[in-house]
Chains A and B, each alone.
Chain A
């Protein structure tokens, strides 16, 4: 009787043990801090070292237009940057998956990967050297006679977009390549044989097939962009505010952990909503998409 229960019990223990490090990690470093932050975000300081439970932190967010402004701005720029990343990454992914063969495909992939061998800080500082008024690119523009005086290319919202797209390109290319590689070339050939035009094939065959990969890439890129701190901070101008910057400021320079925690949860809410919305819009299921990432 016991000879069936024994192995099953052992198997469950085995699975439990194998999962234990991951679960412990998840619980101690992700779940617990979030619970603590949630509690923190519902506190209000009334006097030194005295706190009451209240919704004041969330109320501040909704009553102070400044925070709203930054929140919406972060969401909009992140969405634009995700779309741009997709537009840039798709041709690259197509080339790697369908056009390049063997060594050329590997080489292209490595070219995409190489920038990630150095840290994000170094990459961003590289952009600063290229774009600043006394930098490389403005110098070239003047040399070619395209500008009279070196233009300041740094410190604009467009600069932030360039930096963000560059930073997240790889995370879009990888899922796109894997979903395009599984597309059978004979489907495309058949479509041409039946007289379909290029755009029609793209719209009715390629994109529907790659949709899980596209959604996966967009979700990852959007999350990375939304949570990015360094790029908007270094490349942005005097008016550029990013929501993560605001969270950092509240925690570190204002000593206002309560407000920072509330902002953190609002950002979590925003990214969750946007991901849900994206899944609904593309008709994808979360589990299918996650398998592609």
Chain B
């Protein structure tokens, strides 16, 4: 694609002069579903005159799309903090953050530190924190009892559970087996062995999985309809379901919830850098951040926004994590190459009968 894609893109640009990319009044964001609420887009337009265009995506697709264009096509991306280092070393798709253009005092200091630790290369920072949450379990307490990830494999839950066939599931089951996958990131051989062991566990567990979900609606519908009684799920999804049906609960697993932190990152060939910084500073204002948090159902990295949050939401959070962050694991940055090992294991799980 080295020479073809630029050509195709050039043709596309020629044929659509109305969608000129270097328009300073347009900001193109590639992000997750619900991450950029229409209300905040309207507020931002009123204040700055910049129109925000959102493309919905996920971690892998964001990296792949930016890789295909060498970091062009978007002015702001929102990958998870652990997915930046490897992608940047391999594909050079981001540009460093200029901290002098950011109102750094608006961010929660500990989240900023996490990102600085995981998304810096040669002293340059490539991301700022945006929204965080935890992946754990959800259960319909009338129909099942579970305390840890591996409980999804209990014989009485045959055909009634669901997980994603992606790396978080591998990490969760590795943690539940009593090992720490993150400590083995640097040791390819031991990591491969651990992943293969997890792969065998999941293959043995396969009859229990009704489906491997790859979008949130599939899982939400499964749990709502009662077809799925227990599943791996992120916190806000479980809280939403709990509001609809009090029997459905978030479960913080014995071996720990795994926390993700999604970020702001600047694609290497974005056209509207000024607009991107304006958006970052705007969305981290407590009032706007609270609107975003309400739309997503998770907390943002904005300092002071949680004071403005819905009390019911705060209570759900406190009930779910009674000891605060003691039993929450944060993803460290993934070194390049690990995903290939995990990929083989995931393929084997999918193909196994």
A residues neighboring B (CB under 8 Å): 28-29, 32-33, 36, 40, 48-49, 64, 66, 69-70, 132-134, 152, 155, 237-239, 241, 246, 249, 251-257
Counting residue pairs across A and B whose Cβ atoms lie within 8 Å, the total is: 78
Q: Which of B4, B61, B227 contacts A133 (CB 8 A)?
A: B227
Judge whether B347 is part of the interface by a CB distance below 8 angstroms.
yes
Least Cβ–Cβ distance between A130 and chain B, in angstroms: 14
Can you spell out 21 A-B residue pairs with CB atoms less than 8 angstroms apart? A32-B3, A36-B2, A48-B90, A64-B344, A66-B347, A66-B348, A132-B227, A134-B226, A152-B159, A152-B210, A238-B209, A238-B210, A239-B350, A239-B351, A252-B60, A252-B61, A254-B343, A255-B63, A255-B67, A255-B339, A256-B340
Say whether chain B's binding surface is mostly helix, strand, loop, or mixed: helix
Q: Which residue of B lies closest to A28 (CB)?
A: B7
Rounded to whole angstroms, the CA-CA distance of A112 and B206 in the bound complex is 39
Which chain A positions have C-beta within 8 A of B159?
152
Report, as a range, how many residues of chain B touch the other chain. 35 or more
Q: Which of B1, B60, B348 contacts A40 (CB 8 A)?
A: B1
Which chain B positions have C-beta within 8 A of A253?
60, 64, 166, 339, 343
Judge whether B183 is part of the interface by a CB distance below 8 angstroms.
no
Are A28 and B11 touching (Cβ within 8 A)? yes
Judge whether B44 is part of the interface by a CB distance below 8 angstroms.
no
Are A257 and B1 touching (Cβ within 8 A)? yes
Which chain B positions have C-beta within 8 A of A238?
206, 209-212, 350
Task: Give the residues from 226 to 262 in chain B that come closer than 8 angstroms, CB to CB, to chain A.
Answer: 226-227
Rounded to whole angstroms, the CA-CA distance of A256 and B344 in the bound complex is 12
Which chain A positions have C-beta within 8 A of B67?
255
Are A48 and B89 touching (Cβ within 8 A)? yes
Rounded to whole angstroms, the CA-CA distance of A64 and B347 in the bound complex is 11
Least Cβ–Cβ distance between A25 and chain B, in angstroms: 10
Of residues A40, A49, A253, which shows the largest number of chain B Cβ atoms within 10 Å of its Cβ? A253
Residue-by-residue, is B59-77 near A (CB-CB < 8 Å gives 1, otherwise 0)?
0110110010000000000
Residue-by-residue, is B255-279 near A (CB-CB < 8 Å gives 1, otherwise 0)?
0000000000000000000000000
Judge whether B352 is part of the interface by a CB distance below 8 angstroms.
yes
Are B4 and A239 touching (Cβ within 8 A)? no
Rounded to whole angstroms, the CA-CA distance of A247 and B1 in the bound complex is 16
Q: Which residue of A lies closest to B226 (CB)?
A: A134
Q: Which of B11, B166, B339, B352 contacts A239 (CB 8 A)?
A: B352
Are B64 and A241 touching (Cβ within 8 A)? no
Which chain B positions have C-beta within 8 A of A256?
340, 343
Least Cβ–Cβ distance between A61 and chain B, in angstroms: 12
Rounded to whole angstroms, the CA-CA distance of A289 and B138 in the bound complex is 55
Least Cβ–Cβ distance between B5 and chain A, in angstroms: 9
Rounded to whole angstroms, the CA-CA distance of A35 and B154 in the bound complex is 50
Judge whether B15 is part of the interface by a CB distance below 8 angstroms.
no
Are A155 and B225 touching (Cβ within 8 A)? no
Judge whether B8 is part of the interface by a CB distance below 8 angstroms.
yes
Judge whether B100 is part of the interface by a CB distance below 8 angstroms.
no
Residue-by-residue, is B312-340 near A (CB-CB < 8 Å gives 1, otherwise 0)?
00000000000000000000000010011
Q: Which residue of A lies closest to B163 (CB)?
A: A238
Least Cβ–Cβ distance between B78 and chain A, in angstroms: 17
Q: Which residue of A lies closest to B7 (CB)?
A: A28
Tell me whether A33 and B1 are in contact in the complex, defined as CB-CB below 8 angstroms, given that A238-B350, A253-B60 are known contacts: yes
Q: Which residue of B lies closest to A60 (CB)?
A: B344
